[in-house]
Chain A
Amino acid sequence: MEIKWYIFLSVALFCIGIIGALTRRNAIIVFMCIELMLNSVNLLLVAFSKMHLSGMGAGFPQYATDAQLFVFFIMVVAAAEVSVGLAIIVMMYRNTHSIDINFLNRLKN
């Protein structure tokens, strides 16, 4: 498959993520949208990695899987981040009985 389809897909996912993060007020939805953006970038990374590998041929096996390994790291870090983010949301709900992000503006003062 051509690389451009991967790009289209990941741009589409990224835009959905941005629009979701900007428009929704539910903290969990916003959170999911951010994950969506992250993963769209991951997808792109894997796609380019594959493309380069086929472009270079078999001469450089030592670079072949670098980007794909990277993706795993990103996913692990994202998972850790999710746990922190969810913990914040849980704490927020306990305190305010709401997960509306506009409610957070009381941090201002």
Chain B
Amino acid sequence: MRNTFDLIYLIPLLPLIGFLINGLARNVLSKTMVSIIGSGVIFLAFLLSVVVFMSIRGEGFIPQVISYFDFINVGKIKVSFAFQVDQLSSLFLLIITGVGFLIHVYSTSYMKEENAANFARYFSYLNLFVFSMLLLVLGANYVIMFIGWEGVGLCSYLLIGYWFKNTIYNNAAKKAFIMNRIGDLGFLLGIFWMINSLGSVSFQDLFNNENGIVNGISTLNTHTMVGITLLLFVGAIGKSAQIPLYTWLPDAMAGPTPVSALIHAATMVTAGIYMIARSNLMYTLAPTTMTVVAIVGLATAILGATIALKQNDIKKVLAYSTVSQLGYMFLGLGVGAYTGAVFHVMTHAFFKALLFLGAGSVIHAMGGGQDIRKMGGLSKHMRITYITFFIGCIAIAGIPPFSGFFSKDEILSGVFANNPVLYVIGLGGALLTAFYMFRLLAMTFMGKFRGTEEQLHHVHESPSAITVPLIILAFLSMVGGLVGIPAYLMSGGHKLGQFLDPIFLNSNAILAKYEIAHHTEWILTGVSTILILIVSLWAWKKYKNYQPETAEETGLAKVLQNKWYVDELYDAIIVRPLRSLSLFLNNVVERSGIDGLVNGVGKGINYGSRQIRLLQSGQVGAYILMMVIGTIVLFIIQMFAK
């Protein structure tokens, strides 16, 4: 047992080495070498993750903490640099390295038009990202997690602004960075509060079964718990793009498409879900926060889905779809369906990476065009991309037996058990998902080609480095859900649930377990599946032979097309007042106030010394007189001081 985990440090270390080699030798290495190093280290990390996963798959595995050195050791605070290996982190290791490897392979072809130095820069960023993400999920306490948390934020910034010569892309990168920073502040404050009131940040100290600090708390909704969990949730809002900080994610599509697939769909944005799943016991002890999480998640799910209905940029549709799916995950966390949320993270990683990579393949074929109004009919030219994209659509829409069905079904039945009203709204969002995905599919691949002649000539199937990852991901999207077959379909079919059970054991003991009768679940699933099928077919039919409309959109459609004017709203209520305030501070406070003060002090001293200088006349008698007067003054002061 020990031997397997002695090498656990290699999993994050390998991508770090890849980052250093590719980053430092970017002007020397050829593109082939960069591809081999960049993808190779991730592949090795993936193999190690598989080994780790295999060795803890058995029953009764106790979480292992491997400590390396004291990271902070001040007074009562002791934070060690340690990795924790348990069911949750090993599952995330597999997702990150597995999907990460496929995306690295895909990138070797997708980015081949870049010159060698930029190509190496791209791969080094990508490796650094994987390193940070692995640090995030392996960290055995909130501080190490926070290091990874910041690292992925940095890499996200670097990769969104990868084409740094474009101002719009740079602005998108800055927006993502700043929005994340707002959330990170909340996370940091949460950690401080935790240190202050709980005395530890280590997962083992807080949550272990025998004498965990949080385990000892029996009252629900203490101020401390609600405060800490809300602050941590603020961090999750920033990182996982929830209302009100979600606007960075659609803008993040400025980065290269594989980046969108890896960072802004499959892994980084799920860090918030990972963090809450990790702290599930604290959230369970704070039902108020749970309600907030559920409501924010649901609102985001609906908002994202409605905006996605009217977007015409292939990546923007997928971006809003990601926002919406992340909302579902938070909804699941908020109602206590922790397993469902983690399950959805996994399936979402498969099908959303697939969809993004498929979109990348399409964009590649279109020579950079991303507007689906100018596409159409691509299914004839790109069979593999079309079929895999189709599979992705079915998976995300939630049509059985593809992966999205199982995870979404689990979340929604958890929601139903908790509150049927939320369930109805959530189901509505799922229908919207089906609608916009099939609209996207039909507009892209069906009907007549609406681009230019030149583009039509250029359209071709992508090379195998692109199609093979697509096929693998499509396969995973098809069968990935079978690890979590709900109990009403097959008793004991929820392998993932059993695997993750130790993580959520204490929470499930506290949560009032809402059990729904199996026949109710049958009805719910049946109704939702039929509705989703109907909506999918309707969208398919409606957009199969799409013709560009010349008329301006009106009413709600226009509002949706403009993303509910949220960006404009933020601009009006935050950005512009802040800018006026800054201008005021610059022009009035800085120029006349602070500058005036500083210059005034300087001038005053200058003038004063000019006057005092006159006292130094050179007359010895005058000096003596002054000395005598001074002595007398001191004498008098001495007398009166007592």
Chain A residues near B (Cβ < 8 Å): 18, 21-22, 25, 30, 101-102, 104-108
B620 within 8 A of partner (CB): yes
- The one of A101, A106, A107 in contact with B621, judged by C-beta atoms closer than 8 angstroms, is A101
Q: Which of B619, B620, B625 has the most CB of A within 10 A?
A: B620
Query: What mask results when residues 610 to 642 of chain B are scored 1 for a CB within 8 Å of chain A, else 0?
Result: 000000111111001100100000000000000
Name B590-624 residues within 8 Å CB distance of A.
616-621, 624
Residue contact B618 to A22, C-beta cutoff 8 Å: no
List the B side residues contacting A102 at CB < 8 Å: 619-621
Q: Which residues on the A side are within 8 Å of B621 (C-beta)? A: 22, 25, 101-102
Q: Closest CB of chain A to B325's CB: distance in Å?
A: 85
Residue of A whose beta carbon sits closest to that of B625: A22
Question: Contact mask B356-383 → A, CB, 8 Å, 1/0?
Answer: 0000000000000000000000000000
Asked whether A22 lies within 8 Å of B620 as measured between CB atoms, the reply is no
- Known contacts: A22-B621, A25-B621, A102-B621. The answer to whether A108 contacts B616 by CB under 8 A is yes
When distances are taken between beta carbons in the complex, the residues of chain B under 8 Å from A22 are: 621, 624-625, 628
Chain A residues near B616: list those with CB within 8 A.
Answer: 108
**List of B residues within 8 angstroms of A21 by Cβ:** 624
- Shortest CB-to-CB span from B188 to chain A, Å, is 63
Q: Say whether A108 contacts B620, CB under 8 Å.
A: no
In the bound complex, residues from chain B placing their C-beta under 8 Å from that of A104 are 618, 620
Question: Assuming A22-B625, A22-B628, is B620 touching A101 (CB within 8 A)?
Answer: yes
Q: In the bound complex, what is the Cα–Cα distance between A4 and B617 (angstroms)?
A: 40
Measured between beta carbons, the chain A residues less than 8 angstroms from B624 are: 21-22, 30
In contact, A108 and B625 (Cβ under 8 angstroms): no
CA distance A18 to B621 in the complex (A): 11
CA distance A101 to B624 in the complex (A): 11
> How many Å lie between the Cα of A25 and that of B618 in the bound state?
14
List A contacts of B619 (CB < 8 A): 102, 105
Q: Is B618 a contact of A18 with CB atoms below 8 Å?
A: no
Closest chain B CB from A10 CB (angstroms): 16
Chosen A-B contacts, 8 in total, with CB atoms closer than 8 Å, are A18-B628, A21-B624, A22-B621, A22-B625, A102-B619, A104-B620, A105-B617, A107-B618
Interchain residue pairs A-B with the least CB separation, the first 9: A105-B618, A108-B618, A101-B620, A104-B620, A105-B619, A21-B624, A22-B625, A18-B628, A22-B624
> Looking at chain B's contact residues, is the secondary structure mostly helix, strand, loop, or mixed?
helix
Expressed in whole angstroms, the Cα–Cα distance for A27 and B124 within the complex equals 85
Complex Cα distance A100/B166, Å?
A: 82
How many angstroms from the CA of A35 to the CA of B620 in the assembled complex? 17
- Closest-by-CB residue of A relative to B631 is A18
Q: A30-B624, A106-B618 are in contact. List 10 more A-B contacts (CB 8 A).
A: A21-B624, A22-B625, A25-B621, A101-B621, A102-B621, A104-B618, A104-B620, A105-B617, A108-B616, A108-B617
CB distance from B128 to the nearest CB of A (A): 68
Q: DSSP class of A's interface residues: helix, strand, loop or mixed?
A: helix
Q: A56 vs B401: C-alpha distance in the bound complex, in angstroms? A: 112
B620: which A residues are within 8 A, CB to CB?
30, 101-102, 104-105
Which residue on chain A has the smallest CB distance to residue B620?
A101
- Report A90 CB to chain B, min CB distance, Å: 17
With A and B bound together, what is the CA distance between A84 and B619 in angstroms?
A: 21
- CA–CA, A101 to B618, complex, Å? 10
How long is the Cα–Cα vector from A106 to B621 in the complex, in angstroms? 14
Q: How far is the CA of A105 from the CA of B618 in the complex (A)?
A: 4
**Distance to closest chain A CB from B615 (angstroms):** 12
Residue of B nearest to A103 (CB): B620
Shortest CB distance A50–B (Å): 25
CB proximity of A106 to chain B, nearest CB, Å: 7
Complex CA gap A48/B624 in Å reads: 28
- Minimum distance in angstroms from A29 CB to a CB of chain B: 12
Q: Whole-angstrom distance from the CB of A14 to the nearest CB of chain B?
A: 11
Chain B residues with CB under 8 A of A107: 618
* Chain B residues within an 8 Å CB radius of A101: 620-621
Convert B85-101 into 0s and 1s, putting 1 for each residue whose CB lies closer than 8 angstroms to a CB of A.
00000000000000000
Query: Contacts of A18 on B, CB cut-off 8 Å?
Result: 628
In Å, the complex CA distance between A101 and B625 comes to 14
Cβ contacts under 8 Å, B625 to chain A:
22
A20 to B333 Cα, complex, angstroms: 96
Q: How far is the CA of A106 from the CA of B619 in the complex (A)?
A: 9
Give Cα distance in the complex from A9 to B618, angstroms.
33
Return B486 CB to nearest CB of chain A, in Å. 101
Closest-CB distance, A38 to chain B (whole angstroms) = 14
- In the assembled complex, the Cα of A102 lies from the Cα of B619 at a distance in Å of 6
B residues near A108, Cβ cutoff 8 Å: 616-618
Q: A107 to B507, alpha carbons, bound, how many Å?
A: 90
CA distance A43 to B617 in the complex (A): 35
How far, in angstroms, from A101 to B620 measured CA to CA in the complex? 6
Residues of A within 8 A of B628 (CB): 18, 22
Interface centre among B616, B619, B621 (most CB of A within 10 A): B621
Q: How close is A93's CB to chain B, nearest CB, in angstroms?
A: 15
- Identity of the chain B residue whose Cβ is nearest the Cβ of A109 in the assembled complex: B618
Chain B hits for A106, CB < 8 A: 618
Which chain A residue has the least Cβ–Cβ distance from B619?
Answer: A105
Instruction: Give the CA-CA distance A108 to B618 in the complex, in Å.
Output: 5
- Closest residue of chain B to A104 (Cβ to Cβ) is B620
Taking CB atoms, residues of chain B closer than 8 Å to A30 are 620, 624
How many angstroms between the C-alpha atoms of A18 and B630 in the bound complex? 13
Determine the residue in chain B with the shortest Cβ distance to A108.
B618
A37→B619 CA distance, assembly (Å)? 21
Shortest Cβ distance from residue A41 to the other chain B in the assembled complex, whole angstroms: 13
Contacts of A105 in B (CB 8 A): 617-620
Q: How distant is B622 from chain A, measured CB to nearest CB, in Å? A: 9
Chain A residues with CB under 8 A of B617? 105, 108
- The CA-CA distance from A21 to B620 in the complex, in Å, is 10
What is the bound-complex CA distance between A81 and B616, given in angstroms?
Answer: 25
CA distance A102 to B628 in the complex (A): 18
A62 CA to B628 CA, complexed, in Å: 36
Complex CA gap A105/B621 in Å reads 10
Residue of B nearest to A18 (CB): B628
Q: How far is the CB of A33 from chain B (nearest CB, A)?
A: 10
In the complex, the chain B residue whose C-beta lies closest to that of A34 is B624
Residues of A within 8 A of B618 (CB): 104-108
Q: Which of chain B's residues 461-493 have a Cβ closer than 8 Å to chain A?
A: none
Interface centre among A21, A25, A106, A107 (most CB of B within 10 A): A21
